[in-house]
Amino acid sequence: MNTPGCLTDLDLIAWWLRESDASATSAAEEHLFACAHCTARLQRLAQFGAGIRLAAQSGAVHAVLSESFLAKLRDDGVRVREYRVQPGMSVACTITAGDDLVVSRLQAELRGAQRIDVVVEEPASGGSQRLHDIAFDAGSGEVVLAANSRQVRQMGVTTLHMRVLALQDGAERELGVYTFNHSPS
């Protein structure tokens, strides 16, 4: 919610992320230095940013990411364990004390897909989780999925299936099934 006369949330975010042009940047800064209320709102946004950064570095959140983002994490010293898997293939996997993040790189032909879902299934328990409408770069040829490291560390010997599905006009087409045979380190 915005107070009349104050910067909008969109203005604040654009300024913080350096998206605004020179004129808007200058106006936003003049306002911020004169307005304690907007300063407090910006402090909160900055806190959210710092918290998200920390969560990403420590693997405290699962997320679909990109190869360029993984490269940035590695450059920053985040220890990333990666499993690149072809459709129909399986892999033995784990997480060690030296890993911050575990990433599954599901190879798939994504070109032409309008929407992609990923279904994670655990046959032993019958449990499943569907990741709806993930962001994907059709030209990349893969879905990069970072797991929540804390949850992975708590897993015993487990087999998981991940299915990448392309959805179009109400129909879904399986692009690949990937099997992860997890064992604790």
Residues that bind other proteins in the complex, under the rule CB under 8 A:
3-6, 9-10, 13, 15-19, 27, 29-40, 42-57, 60-66, 68-69, 72-73, 131-140, 148
Least Å distance, CB 20 to other proteins, is 10
Least Å distance, CB 99 to other proteins, is 18
Residue 130 vs 183, nearer CB to other proteins: 130
Residue 76 vs 89, nearer CB to other proteins: 76
Residue type, 38: C
Least Å distance, CB 150 to other proteins, is 9
Write down the H helix ranges in the chain.
9-16, 22-34, 36-57, 67-75, 149-153
Longest dimension (CA), the chain: 60
Residue 141 vs 183, nearer CB to other proteins: 141
Question: What are the structure tokens assigned to 18, written together?
Answer: 């350096």
Least Å distance, CB 74 to other proteins, is 13
Residue 50 vs 89, nearer CB to other proteins: 50
Q: What is the crossing angle of helices 9-16 and 22-34, to 10°?
A: 110
Residue 17 vs 92, nearer CB to other proteins: 17
Least Å distance, CB 112 to other proteins, is 13
- Answer whether 179's CB lies under 8 Å from 83's CB: no
The rounded radius of gyration (Å) of the Cα atoms in the chain is 21
C-alpha neighbours within 13 Å on the C-beta side of residue 148: 7
Q: Give the SS3 label for residue 4.
A: coil
